[in-house]
């Protein structure tokens, strides 16, 4: 079941999940109200998938339709992070350039800045396409997605100190006795290495290559999908991906938006980090099952009733148990369009 309009399905302590057309949702959000739009749309793959991906020929125009509204709802300090998987041209061992065409048009036509390009390496990704990689063996496994970090201005909110990674063993050794391992001087590359290089800053600056395995097999979401006989979303990204960008680009209390929410990994990550969130997906069954991320185990009869209502009830949104709710909908008798006009995300 799906809706053309965006309808609030459930609310948690920090956020609200919608089902329906996210373009409709975007049109009715306030300007300059969102700190981070973080999303992974259905990719432009060769074959149709059950979660609704578009054909490569129409994909770029389809996705660009959302982007002027994303620009409008972002705060001046906000960021737009877009995860796009690569694809081959149909019937040919030649890569599509659709993800790069999207980037160029986002900058040239919509006015976004490319703050930085990231690359998500998924070591557990299966080899594909089978024809070129497994059968003919003329291409290697494609295991990297492009992740475009875009912004409204040159200096969006960002703090690398929030995403430092552990020092290497070699760096740990250097920090114990820096005078033994290096002397401050200008290197042949032109870099001037000062004495501060031997000072610990709590961790190393990460690179723009994010190695995160997508091998989830026993999460609460998957367990409860099995328990409730619910359809799993087949294209989930790992929680560590949104966690990185939410930590990097937002502060507690900021507002995160995912317009292609799927199983709502972004909402769960935002909730765990104390950020407000809004998520939307066209398929109500996927949005209903995404509520499993916020159920407390062990499962009781009330959870079965909640899930049934998420699938079938018209008395929406359903408030999931939590310390407090993000009160976006003060009066359920109002029309959906009026409710969304009343949203104040400040």
CB-CB contact of 2 with 283 (8 Å): yes
- The residue from 11, 22, 33, 40 that is catalytic is 40
Contacts of 289 (CB under 8 A, 6+ apart): 221, 224, 225, 228, 230, 231, 232, 233, 263, 307
Catalytic residue at 40?
yes
Rounded to the nearest angstrom, the gap between the alpha carbon of residue 176 and the centroid of all alpha carbons in its chain is 38
Rounded to the nearest angstrom, the gap between the alpha carbon of residue 266 and the centroid of all alpha carbons in its chain is 5
H-run or E-run covering 38: strand 34-39
Structure tokens at 250: 């937002």
Distance, in Å, from the CA atom of 247 to the CA atom of 308, rounded to the nearest integer, reads 34
- The residue from 41, 129, 156, 238 that is catalytic is 41
Catalytic residue at 179?
no
Pairing assessment for the beta strands 144-151 and 113-121 based on DSSP bridges: antiparallel
Contacts of 336 (CB under 8 A, 6+ apart): 5, 6, 7, 8
Catalytic residue at 83?
yes
- The residue from 21, 35, 83, 254 that is catalytic is 83
Q: Which residues are catalytic?
A: 40-41, 83
């Amino acid at each position: 079941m799906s809706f053309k309009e965006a309808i609030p399905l459930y609310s948690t302590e920090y956020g609200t999940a919608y089902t329906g057309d996210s373009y409709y949702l975007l049109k009715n959000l306030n300007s300059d109200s969102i700190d981070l739009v973080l999303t992974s749309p259905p990719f432009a793959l060769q074959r149709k998938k059950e979660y609704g991906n578009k054909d490569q020929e129409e994909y770029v125009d389809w996705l660009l339709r959302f982007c002027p509204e994303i620009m409008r709802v972002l705060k001046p300090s906000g960021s737009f992070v877009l995860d796009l998987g690569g694809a081959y041209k149909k019937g040919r061992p030649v890569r599509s350039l659709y993800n790069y065409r999207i980037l160029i048009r986002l900058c040239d036509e919509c006015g976004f800045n490319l703050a930085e390009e990231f690359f998500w390496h998924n070591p557990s990704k299966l080899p594909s396409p089978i024809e070129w990689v497994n059968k003919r063996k003329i291409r290697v496994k494609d295991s990297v997605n492009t992740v475009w970090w875009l912004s409204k201005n040159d200096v969006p909110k960002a703090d690398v100190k929030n995403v430092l990674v552990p020092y290497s063993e070699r760096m740990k050794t250097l920090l114990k006795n820096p005078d033994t391992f290096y002397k401050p001087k200008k290197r042949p590359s032109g870099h001037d290495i000062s004495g501060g290089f031997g000072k610990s800053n709590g961790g190393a600056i990460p690179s723009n290559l994010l190695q995160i395995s997508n091998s989830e097999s026993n999460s609460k979401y998957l367990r409860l999908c099995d328990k409730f006989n619910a359809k799993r979303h087949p294209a989930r990204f790992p929680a560590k991906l949104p966690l990185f960008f939410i930590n990097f680009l937002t502060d507690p209390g900021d507002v995160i938006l995912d317009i292609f929410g799927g199983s709502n990994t972004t909402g769960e990550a935002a909730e765990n980090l104390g950020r407000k969130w809004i998520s939307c997906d066209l398929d109500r069954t996927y949005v209903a099952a995404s509520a499993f991320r916020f159920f407390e185990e062990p499962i009781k009869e009330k959870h079965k009733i909640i899930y049934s209502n998420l699938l079938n009830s018209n008395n929406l949104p359903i408030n999931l148990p939590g310390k407090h709710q993000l009160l976006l909908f003060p009066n359920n008798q109002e029309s959906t369009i009026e409710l969304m006009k009343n949203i104040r995300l400040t």
